[in-house]
Amino acid sequence: MSGELWHVNVTQSEPGPAEASLWRRHISGCEVYRGRANRALVCTGLRPDGYWTITPINRHCAGGRFRGQTLEEGDLLLLDPGGEGFQQTRAGHSQSAISIPVAIAERIIRAEHHTEPEMLLSKWARQSDCGATRDIENLLDALLDRPEMPTCSF
């Protein structure tokens, strides 16, 4: 399933042996995942058209950059379907995210925000909301911290 979510090239941007891990879980049509790497990386590529991605920025991934903007603890990244991704991470980076099918995201946006989804789905956004970030991070941690969860290392 990860090939449907990420079409990226990953380049190590500091010397030394690199280790990285990816955990993911498919839940009700959504993909929940977390990646970790011990070296700084540059990730470039496109996201697929069918998913809207939300990623909370915590102390384990703050200081990295997305599309040239430094990510701060407490930020939320809302990533447009099919959008370009350009992220620079620091050594020790660990980041979680959820990718939601566009049809589900549209229903949630209409029901919860009483607005047309295109306003949120048509562009990427960086919002600072420590409370929402913490809530989403806790939810993703609960979903990912299960012993039966598949993992891969490379």
Query: What confidence tier does 91 reach under pLDDT thresholds 50, 70, 90?
Result: very high
Tokens matching residue 60: 């384990």
Give the 3-state DSSP-derived string for 91-124, with helices as H, strands as E and coil as C. CCCEEEEEEEEHHHHHHHHHHHHCCCCHHHHCCC
pLDDT digits (tens, 9 = 90+) for 41-87: 999 998 888 999 999 999 999 999 998 899 999 999 999 998 888 99
Q: Is the pLDDT of residue 154 over 50?
A: no
Over the chain, what is the mean pLDDT?
87
Q: Is the pLDDT of residue 134 over 90?
A: yes
Q: Is the pLDDT of residue 146 over 80?
A: no
